[in-house]
Structure 1
Amino acid sequence: MRTLSKRLLSLAMLSISTATIALPAHALDLLGAIQLASVNDPNLAAVRAQRLAAGQSTIIARSALLPHLGAEASYNKININSQSAALGKLDYKQTTWGARLTQPIFHWDAWHQYKAISAQRSQQEAEADSRTQELFLGVASAYFDVLRAQDTLAFAQAQENALSSQRDKAQAQFKVGVIARADVVEADAQRDTATAERLSAEIGLTHAKETLNAALATEVDDLSPLPESIPTPNPVPNDSKAWAELAKQNNPGLIAARFAATAAAKAKEAQRAGFLPSIDAYASTGDIRNSDITPPNPNSPINFNAGRQSAIGVEARWELFAGGRTLALVKQAGYQADAARAAAMAQEHQIVTATRTAFMTVKTDSQRLAARQRALRSAELAREAAQAGYSVGSRNIVELLQAETRVYSASRDYANARYDYVMNSLRLKALAGQLDEATVATVNGWLAAK
């Protein structure tokens, strides 16, 4: 799982070396859409920046366990007006410099804070993986929503044209007295309904295009379509329990929740440091020089403080009582650790349930798609029969219009079933933490070249 986001981002950045990418001369496919989003989507740029920032957190925390070297220097002009006969009135300049090296020996808080921040870094990386998958799913959803809306509009336009033609025939037959006025009214009503559906489809297509353009940060007009016939295999492995286990191991959101629980447990241990001492080893050196002593007084004790000073040793600090603050912090951290652990367990249950549901949905989608295809063929045969019966007078116009409407309704249902199968397959892969370049490339291979 640690390499998932890297694989996704490397896929997205494939063949991209500039801040923008030109639209291809041919129709844009799913891989091309992801490449555009990877360059232009500010949300994905934010994910990359967050991963880089998370990489620095452990370095910062580890620094508390490593040696610290400090240096200091000062220059002072000192004036002393003492009542002591030995000193009297004295002016002099003092130059001081020093260096101190400290090596932590025992810092319970620093060690467990380092462990907590390491877990937090892994949590943030897993969250970045999750957001990357969500962004790619969003691009795929926007892409197929445009194709779905295009199909819906095409079906609506074809239905409107077919019903308009039937309405014109009905009017012509009414004028010569072949059919009644009620049949013409029914044809008008069916045609007007089709017109309203076509207008709604136009609005839906406009909205879908705007959503995709926003995701890609550019306008796209031509997309590679999804053919009428696509592979619809059952998920592999073909078992809901196996998919649930994959999700437990690889789902980035669940991994992030577990790391959050680990970080909270380590933070609790860090708070226990308030009951323990901290121990450091140190080495220091320095030099004090006095100059321009006025009036000169070789017997002045001020000279006794000058010279080089060096020290090496071990120092310990132990806070014995803090007004109950330490105990309260430990309890608070313990409650937070319990909450994080419970949240991770709850998320695991949600992910497992969602994965099992997604598995069953994809498996059902495969069967539903075949059923929708058969229903479309049946509707087309029923329309042919209605047209033949209407031409010989055994069927009325209402039956013919209903048969015509059922064909376009079945066409929409079949198209929607194809898009549902594709998107639900991608969602199942994402829940199991398997939305990688191979998955995207497989779906991209289903698209038809234009």
Structure 2
Amino acid sequence: MSRLTSKILLLLCLACFSLRGFGQDTALKMLPPVWDLEACLQYAKANNIQLKSLQLNKQSAQQDKLLAKSALLPDLYGSASQSFNHYNMATNGSSDAFNYSGSYGLSSSWTLYKGGYLKTDIKEKDLSVQSANLSILENENDITLQITQAYLNILVDKESIIYNQGLLKTSQAQLDQAQCQFAVGSVARKVVAQFEAQLASDKYNLTTSENAERQDKIALKQLLQLPDAKEFDVVRPDTVISTASITDLNTVQQYALQNRPEVKNAELGVQISDLGLTKAKSGYLPSLTLGAGMGTSYAKDPNYNAFRQFDNNFYQQAGLTLSIPIFTKRQNKTNVAKAKIEIAQSKLTLENTKTTLALTTEKAYINAQNSQNQFSSATEQLKYNQEVYRIANQELKIGAANIVEFYQQRNLYVQAMQQYIQAKYNAALAARIYEFYLGTPIKL
């Protein structure tokens, strides 16, 4: 019987481990293997740990607001005590006595007036909830820009891989042709060696581009906080070239200063500080509290019935308490002074936030302009170098080109292609970041 029980327990354990592994595999399979930018942004907003932490901060601020509202209500406390006494009585012999007693009551207090502190505290806690929500939006904006940058880095790598693969195929074809020419004695061994060296260099460049893509994918997965073992790739759109005209700087700055969450949050900081000063000044004012209570008590006694004692000892009381601050050992004066300092600090924060945002939008504007100009130049440069390289290839095939001149043209083409790819994605990123300050969602 014990042997059968052991087998059953072993099977149950194996089943639990299998189900656990199946659950993990199912969770991984729910994630798509290929992501577009929109999917990356939505996943990050739903799963990013920093955002989740800020959302918990918001929930905590909401609880503080509920607590502040509840301070306007009366409280109610119950109390109960019970005691037992044992003693010996020695009168004409020895005997034991056992007595007990108890008291029970309810008490309540209600703050009727506290110098306006309670209502001001509610307003302050409400602004704190709004501030917590704006902090979430700030973090979402930061994550959006980081993910967009990482996503476009991968697209740059993918395009680099494609053109490096093309160069590798061309080098392999040129090496095959040179080997055939060497076999019939039309070229020297040195020419074949030069093509072999170039092929090895192209393989190295392709491997470097592939490694860069893997590293940039890891960087994006870290931003998304995806499992390490999850298969991951991104969608390569047909085009990411931004041809739209750039909005004037003044329009973007005005919109950003009026609508960006960091500015609104800083403005709320000033309002919260003002309410803090109002709360500090309320410490100079009197407070009025209504108190009430009722209770009863009893004691075991040979001459009295316990239930009659409950009735005879039942009491009720109510009263008002007025508290007037006369000398608080500088507590109120210090609170007011510190509240004024907090107002000055919050105003400096607001001013710094606006200045930083204005400079950031101006920098984004300059980057968008420069990136578009660089992309136009890079496009034109690639066009001419591509044509020269095509001609050099034709001349090499018919033996009319010097190999040194051919490689010079090839290197110029490679350089122009690299600059074109980088300029294209820089222009796309700069334009989208700049329009993001105008409230335009980032899309490829």
Counterpart residue type for residue 264 of structure 1: S
Distance in 2 separating the partners of 1:257 and 1:379:
52
How much does 1:147 deviate? 1.9
Assess, with a 3 A threshold, how the Cα gap between structure 1 residues 172 and 212 changes in structure 2: closer, same or farther.
same
Task: Say which of 42, 47, 66 aligns to 2:49.
Answer: 42
Identity %: 19
Task: Say which of 357, 367, 373 aligns to 1:361.
Answer: 367
Task: Say which of 148, 153, 164 aligns to 2:156.
Answer: 148
Counterpart residue type for residue 316 of structure 2: Q
Assess, with a 3 A threshold, how the Cα gap between structure 1 residues 283 and 151 changes in structure 2: closer, same or farther.
same
Distance in 1 separating the partners of 2:395 and 2:58:
68
Contact 1:243 1:356 in 2 (8 A): no
Q: Structure 1 residue 75 and structure 2 residue 91: aligned?
A: no
* Residue-by-residue CA offset, 1:85-108 (whole Å, 9 max, x unaligned): xxxxx9773433123241432344
Residue of structure 1 in register with 2:324 after alignment:
318
Residue of structure 2 in register with 1:247 after alignment:
256
How much does 1:207 deviate? 0.6
Instruction: Give the SS at the match of 1:73.
Output: strand
Contact 1:113 1:270 in 2 (8 A): yes
Q: Structure 1 residue 263 and structure 2 residue 272: aligned?
A: yes
Q: Structure 1 residue 417 and structure 2 residue 438: aligned?
A: no
Counterpart residue type for residue 362 of structure 2: R
Counterpart residue type for residue 38 of structure 2: L
Instruction: Give the SS at the match of 1:288.
Output: strand
Distance in 1 separating the partners of 2:172 and 2:239:
26
Tell me the matched-pair count: 404
Distance in 2 separating the partners of 1:293 and 1:229:
94
Counterpart residue type for residue 375 of structure 1: Q
* Residue-by-residue CA offset, 1:241-289 (whole Å, 9 max, x unaligned): 1101111111112222222232233223322233222233x25241324
Residue of structure 1 in register with 2:206 after alignment:
198
Q: 1:196-235 alignment to 2 at 5 Å?
A: 196-214=204-222, 215=224, 217-218=226-227, 219-228=230-239, 230-235=241-246
Contact 1:151 1:412 in 2 (8 A): no
Which range moved further: 386-395 or 108-117?
Answer: 386-395
Residue of structure 2 in register with 1:288 after alignment:
296
Counterpart residue type for residue 124 of structure 1: A
How much does 1:355 deviate? 0.9
* Residue-by-residue CA offset, 1:65-101 (whole Å, 9 max, x unaligned): x11221323234487x9xxxxxxxx977343312324
How much does 1:164 deviate? 4.8
TM-score by length of 2: 0.77
TM-score by length of 1: 0.76
Q: 1:57-76 alignment to 2 at 5 Å?
A: 57-64=64-71, 66-76=72-82
Assess, with a 3 A threshold, how the Cα gap between structure 1 residues 322 and 174 changes in structure 2: closer, same or farther.
farther
Contact 1:365 1:417 in 2 (8 A): yes
Q: Structure 1 residue 306 and structure 2 residue 306: aligned?
A: no
Assess, with a 3 A threshold, how the Cα gap between structure 1 residues 47 and 21 changes in structure 2: closer, same or farther.
farther
Which range moved further: 156-165 or 203-212?
Answer: 156-165
Instruction: Give the SS at the match of 1:154.
Output: helix
* Residue-by-residue CA offset, 1:106-156 (whole Å, 9 max, x unaligned): 344333333333222222111101112222333333322222212222223
* Residue-by-residue CA offset, 1:197-254 (whole Å, 9 max, x unaligned): 333222211111212333251434443213246442024xx21011011111111122
Structure 2 unaligned segments of length 5 or more: list them: 1-25, 88-97
Contact 1:58 1:114 in 2 (8 A): yes
Please tell me the root mean square deviation across aligned C-alpha atoms, in Å. 3.7
How much does 1:165 deviate? 4.3
How much does 1:338 deviate? 1.3
Contact 2:150 2:216 in 1 (8 A): yes
Counterpart residue type for residue 226 of structure 1: P
Assess, with a 3 A threshold, how the Cα gap between structure 1 residues 387 and 104 changes in structure 2: closer, same or farther.
same
